[in-house]
A and B are shown apart, each in its own frame.
Chain A
Amino acid sequence: MGQIIVNGILMGFIYSLVAIGLTLTWGTMGIPNFAHGDFLMLSMYLAFWAFELIGIDPLLMLPICILAIFILGVLTYKGIISRVIDGASLTALLATFGLGMFLKNLAQFLWTPNYRYINDALVSGKIIKLGNIVLGVPQIVAAVGSILLVVVIVYFMENTRTGKAIQATALNRNTALLMGINTSKIFAITFGITGACVGAAGALMSSFFPIYPTLGSLFSTLSLVIVALGGLGSIKGALYGGLIIGLTEAIGGYFLGTQFKYLLVFLIYLIVIQVRPKGLFGW
């Protein structure tokens, strides 16, 4: 049982990191990004190919993945989102959905639908034993990395001018504009940070998670639910939401069988939303 809880928490931190990326754009711009999971998939492929072709370890690829997906995020904003943001919110959402579909199938077209694994990375295959609990080193590294990044993001949001500007824009776009904040630039940065989060998560996960083109759908759906569970735009909410979902998945999968784990994840959301209609920390 201890083992299951630990596994759930470790996975939960990664979910948190992915969801924090999503909650920033969703909270600031009001657009749920349906291509979020596909950014994650691209980052994992980037780590995979760097390892396969040049032999760079996924951990060393971390900064490059962060930067690459940051740029992808900014480009997505400049190329697509900035053009649809003033229209109906459903149109913007569909644009991200179309983008996700494009990326998914681009990956399938370029790299086939096969499952790929990074087997002999620096950390893979190693385990630590604590009493009768067995911990995989890649999972621990990923969880610790996620925690560190979450701390960095929280610090950035609370203590820098840009972070504060993002918060102001999220609260009220027009007022932020009146106060002299370049909201367009802020949106671009937010989208970039979103990308950086999944970029990091992708590099961290690639050493123990199978890599395949459609993995984005699962992570998009899960992170949408996590964000709504925690409350739109709330970093704290995404953090706890990720942990709750990670634990639900692990514990539910153990007691009811793995085929029911996602059923429970979605049920948890539906139950929580009955008590807190705007998510755990939403306002």
Chain B
Amino acid sequence: MVKNKKAIIILIAIMAILPIFIKSKVVLNAIVLLLIFATLGEAWNIITGFAGQTSFGHAAYFGIGAYTSAVLYFHYEISPLIGMVLGAIIAAIIGVVTSYPTFRLKGHYFAIATLAIAEVIKQLFISWRYVEGATGISIPILPRSATFMERIIYLQFNEKVPWVYISLFLFAVVVFICDYLENSKMGYYLKAIRESHEAAESIGINTTNYKLYAMIVSSAISALAGSIYAQYILYIDPFMMFSLEVSMKIVLLTVLGGIGNIFGPIIGAAIFIPLSEFTRMKLGGSGTGIDLMIYGALIVLISVFQPKGIIGIVESIRNRSTKKKGGEGEVEALTRN
């Protein structure tokens, strides 16, 4: 576990140094989005990777976080820093209220229920006047003369670099939480639930409670990422925040990065976000959809040729090296073939 911590610190340090060398706005933009989606992936990983409850509706919490901070700022000029915290609390409450009745569903039925919940919330936001309905909210921009303090309080920056550090800070905190969680009692309980619901219950784990705890952490983190995203983009509407595409993007980068592994989301995000930004920049804009076409084809190719995620490659290399030494690795390698 100490090894994990070291790797995380090195990873974060590298990310922190990057903005010093990179001046390109395009690359910095990709890094910010990458970190936000990696954070979302970590959040999703808690409920699906650890606890084994597949969620196709994480866009709901992402959107609620974004909307809470944006609406409070838009209507009452309340600092997004406060809005973020409130958003996380609201998302956690909604997570609990909607998950409690759905947690007794198994497998696909649960997954489709989360999808349905996200759709219900999306439809509500589309016709909700107070949050500007389908038009969406444009977050009021601070005047150019705003001081640095004001910029921090209202979380608005003209440059990309502060955003890299804000999203990196959130990501770092979340990764450490996930690492702690994975090796805590709760993490083992969640994994037990994932492996066998019945067995977990039979040894005295209160499965519903632990799944709920996982959901609270997961939805609160997603909401924080949502608030940051809203402040970064400065415009949100129900279609971009709550869509199935967002939920699936989170699933996609975590699964193809490596599900149930704390490095999975960042690896997946590091591959998919720059990829989608690159295809969008080079080919998008014409409105022909060719960028998303290529993106879709790449998703198919990666899932066909690397079904265990990118982490799978690393693991197979590690297995190969242990195989030479013989012993346990050999047995595993044999059974795998």
- Chain A residues in the interface with B (C-beta under 8 A): 26, 30, 32, 34, 80, 83-84, 87-88, 90-92, 94-95, 97-106, 108-109, 113, 213, 217, 221, 224-225, 228, 232, 257, 259-260, 262-263, 266-267, 269-270, 273-274, 277-279, 282
Residues of A within 8 A of B78 (CB): none
In the complex, are the beta carbons of A263 and B307 less than 8 A apart?
no
Q: Which 8 A-B pairs have the closest CB atoms?
A: A98-B299, A101-B296, A87-B307, A102-B296, A105-B289, A108-B289, A105-B293, A263-B123
Of A90, A257, A260, A262, which is in contact with the most chain B CB atoms at under 10 Å from its CB? A90
Q: Which of B95-119 contact A (CB under 8 A)?
A: 101-102, 104-106, 108-109, 111-113, 115-117, 119
Dominant secondary structure at the A interface: helix
Query: Which residue of the partner chain, among A87, A101, A213, A267, contacts B308 with CB atoms under 8 Å?
Result: A87
In the complex, are the beta carbons of B123 and A262 less than 8 A apart?
yes
A-B contact pairs, 6 of them (CB 8 A): A88-B259, A91-B309, A228-B112, A269-B113, A273-B102, A273-B113
Report the contact-size class of chain B (Cβ under 8 Å from the partner): 35 or more
B40 CB → nearest A CB, Å: 16
In the complex, are the beta carbons of A94 and B106 less than 8 A apart?
no
In the complex, are the beta carbons of B109 and A260 less than 8 A apart?
no
Residues of A within 8 A of B309 (CB): 91
In the complex, are the beta carbons of B292 and A105 less than 8 A apart?
yes
User: Given contacts A91-B307, A266-B119, is CB(A98)–CB(B296) below 8 Å?
Assistant: yes
- Give the CA-CA distance A138 to B15 in the complex, in Å: 59
In the complex, are the beta carbons of B289 and A109 less than 8 A apart?
yes
Nearest residue, chain A, Cβ from B306: A91
Residues of B within 8 A of A270 (CB): 102, 113, 116-117, 120
For B285-313 the 0/1 string (1 means CB < 8 A from A) is 00111111101111110011001110000
Residues of A within 8 A of B287 (CB): 113
Residues of A within 8 A of B101 (CB): 274
Residues of A within 8 A of B291 (CB): 105
Nearest residue, chain A, Cβ from B252: A94
Nearest residue, chain A, Cβ from B312: A87
B244 at the interface (CB under 8 A from A): yes
- Give the CA-CA distance A84 to B304 in the complex, in Å: 6
In the complex, are the beta carbons of B304 and A83 less than 8 A apart?
yes
- Chain B residues in the interface with A (C-beta under 8 A): 54, 101-102, 104-106, 108-109, 111-113, 115-117, 119-120, 123-124, 126-127, 244, 248, 251-252, 255-256, 259, 287-293, 295-300, 303-304, 307-309
Of B256, B287, B300, which is in contact with the most chain A CB atoms at under 10 Å from its CB? B300
In the complex, are the beta carbons of B296 and A228 less than 8 A apart?
no
In the complex, are the beta carbons of A101 and B109 less than 8 A apart?
no
A37 CB → nearest B CB, Å: 11
Nearest residue, chain A, Cβ from B119: A266
Residues of A within 8 A of B295 (CB): 101
In the complex, are the beta carbons of B303 and A277 less than 8 A apart?
no
Query: Beyond the given A88-B308, A98-B298, A213-B289, could you list 19 further A-B residue pairs with CB under 8 A, ordered by the A residue number?
Result: A83-B307, A90-B259, A94-B248, A95-B300, A98-B296, A98-B300, A102-B296, A102-B297, A105-B290, A109-B288, A221-B115, A225-B112, A228-B108, A228-B113, A263-B119, A269-B116, A270-B102, A274-B101, A279-B109
Nearest residue, chain B, Cβ from A95: B303
In the complex, are the beta carbons of B300 and A80 less than 8 A apart?
yes
Query: Which residue of the partner chain, among B109, B252, B298, B299, contacts A273 with CB atoms under 8 Å?
Result: B109
Residues of B within 8 A of A90 (CB): 54, 251, 255, 259
In the complex, are the beta carbons of A232 and B108 less than 8 A apart?
yes
Nearest residue, chain B, Cβ from A261: B123
A44 CB → nearest B CB, Å: 17
In the complex, are the beta carbons of A263 and B292 less than 8 A apart?
no
In the complex, are the beta carbons of A102 and B255 less than 8 A apart?
no
- Give the CA-CA distance A269 to B108 in the complex, in Å: 13
Residues of A within 8 A of B126 (CB): 259
- Give the CA-CA distance A225 to B115 in the complex, in Å: 9
In the complex, are the beta carbons of A262 and B119 less than 8 A apart?
yes
In the complex, are the beta carbons of A221 and B109 less than 8 A apart?
no
